[in-house]
């Protein structure tokens, strides 16, 4: 049985490489016939045609301005992870294979029309036989095998590329692909996402926080490729008019969400790294709902204090301190002139406060503005020989999301200068962190 399964996977891998080659050949022929859009756009469009792995790769490019050229980072902001939904019969097969029993033994009802469909999974509303209202995140068939085949193909292609053109190896391409593979394998491990959710809820309990919640996971209806979670009812954080039905003070609701997230940086092993408006909900009971923990970041302990100092320096406008923190957070092999770096940062900082609030309601524009600021900071760092770890870029992007939400929900509030925000850790916080860590483990 294992021999046949291995042979089957190998055969699927060969077919997948053939499909990839066909798409690349079609793109090449189109180019030769004169259809020549800008290279970044051509690459992005090709990635979207190639499917799951390449869409995720494009999103990785978009969120890693320290690793890729700015024209590609900008273009891949448009890389869409919305795919046509699979017929429900395929989803049923995955659920029953994973849970090892018929669907009606676990779920009383299930809506065959998905709530959402992306490259890796699609989501369906359902009711458990015990009566709970849930959503089921179901991995699409063969996704992991496709990811591994594609990533191995990309890895060996980059190794060959590095050998053929060693002079242009500004960074190890194969090392970047290895990092991408690690991130993607986490996304297809629903046990890992369930653990991320569990840790976040345990953190809320340990810190006595009744203002926020993450969905409960139902282990009896979950597996490596199926994740069944409590269904939340509410509206996105930026739906200002509807929020008022559930929260008397939208500004205070936002502050609660921000304080919860900043506290999680101190007390959780990982932080939620995808805080666009769709993943922050105001529930019908007024609480903040954090959903979709598939993408998380991790700040290493040795860079945490420097990260806090960097954020604090933004609030105080201390550019020397900001420059010193950047040097400690980033990776550099040369001596950095912090005075010159501070001057460059001051120029960026002045532009940082000029934001159109309506951009928050326009997702594409909002992401572009956030990304542009990220690129400017990264460019200044690189000018001085500093390259940031991806986790820092993820963390800072979430802070910029919050800055945009403030413009909509609390326009009189300043992100880094408001007594209601508890953003920065003190010695007392670090002592509490040790206590909470013991409770969580």
Catalytic residue positions, numbered: 274
Whether residue 289 contacts residue 233, with contact meaning beta carbons closer than 8 Å, is answered with no
Could you say which DSSP state residue 77 is in?
G
The residue assigned the tokens 């996704």 is 143
Q: What span, in angstroms and rounded, lies between the C-alpha atoms of 392 and 405?
A: 20
Question: What strands, in cross-sheet order, belong to the sheet with 280-283?
Answer: 212-213, 288-290, 280-283, 234-236
247-253 long-range contacts, Cβ below 8 Å, gap at least 24?
247/282, 247/286, 250/409, 250/410, 251/409, 251/410, 251/412, 251/413, 252/420, 253/282, 253/286, 253/288, 253/409
Number of other CB atoms surrounding residue 66 within 10 Å: 22
Task: List Cβ neighbours of 409 (8 Å cut-off, separation of 6 or more).
Answer: 237, 238, 240, 243, 250, 251, 253, 254
Residue pair 190/223 in contact (Cβ under 8 Å)? The answer is yes
Measure the CA–CA gap between 270 and 267, rounded to whole angstroms.
9
Token readout for 231 is 């269904």
Structure tokens at 145: 């095998």
């Amino acid at each position: 049985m294992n021999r046949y399964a291995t042979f089957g996977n190998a055969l699927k891998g060969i077919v997948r490489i053939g499909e990839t080659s066909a798409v690349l050949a079609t793109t090449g022929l189109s180019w030769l016939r004169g259809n020549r859009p800008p290279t970044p756009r051509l690459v992005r469009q090709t990635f979207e045609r190639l499917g799951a792995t390449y869409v995720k790769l494009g999103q990785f490019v978009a969120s890693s301005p320290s690793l890729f050229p700015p024209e590609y980072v900008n273009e891949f902001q448009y890389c869409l992870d919305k795919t046509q939904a699979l017929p429900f019969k395929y989803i049923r097969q995955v659920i029953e294979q994973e849970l090892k029993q018929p669907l009606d033994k676990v779920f009383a009802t299930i809506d065959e029309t998905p709530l959402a469909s992306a490259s890796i999974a699609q989501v369906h509303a359902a009711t458990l036989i015990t009566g709970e209202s849930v959503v089921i995140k179901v991995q699409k068939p063969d996704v992991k095998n496709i990811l591994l085949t594609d990533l191995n193909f990309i890895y060996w292609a980059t190794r060959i590329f590095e050998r053929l053109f060693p002079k242009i190896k500004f960074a190890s391409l194969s090392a970047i692909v290895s990092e991408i593979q690690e991130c993607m394998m986490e996304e297809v491990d629903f046990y890992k996402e369930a653990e991320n959710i569990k840790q976040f809820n345990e953190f809320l309990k340990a810190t006595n926080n009744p203002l926020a919640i993450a969905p409960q996971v139902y282990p009896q209806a979950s597996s490596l490729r199926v994740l069944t979670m409590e269904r939340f009812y509410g509206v996105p954080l930026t739906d200002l008019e509807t929020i008022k039905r559930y929260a008397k003070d939208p500004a205070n609701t936002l502050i609660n969400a921000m304080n919860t997230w900043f506290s999680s940086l101190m007390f959780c092993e990982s932080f939620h790294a995808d805080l666009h408006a769709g993943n922050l909900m105001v529930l019908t009971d007024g609480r903040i709902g954090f959903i979709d923990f598939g993408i998380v970041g991790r700040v290493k302990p040795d860079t945490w204090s420097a990260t806090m100092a960097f954020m604090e320096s933004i609030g105080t406008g201390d550019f020397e301190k900001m420059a010193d923190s950047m040097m400690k957070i980033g990776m550099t092999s040369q001596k950095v002139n912090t005075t010159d770096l501070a001057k460059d940062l001051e120029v960026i900082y002045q532009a940082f406060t000029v934001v159109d609030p309506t951009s928050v309601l326009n997702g594409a524009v909002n992401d572009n503005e956030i990304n542009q600021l990220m690129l400017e900071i990264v460019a200044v760092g690189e000018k001085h020989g500093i390259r940031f770890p991806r986790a820092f870029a993820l963390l800072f992007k979430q802070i910029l999301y919050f800055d945009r939400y403030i413009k909509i929900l609390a326009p009189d509030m300043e992100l880094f200068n408001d007594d209601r925000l508890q953003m920065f850790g003190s010695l007392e916080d670090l002592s509490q962190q040790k206590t909470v860590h013991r409770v969580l483990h």
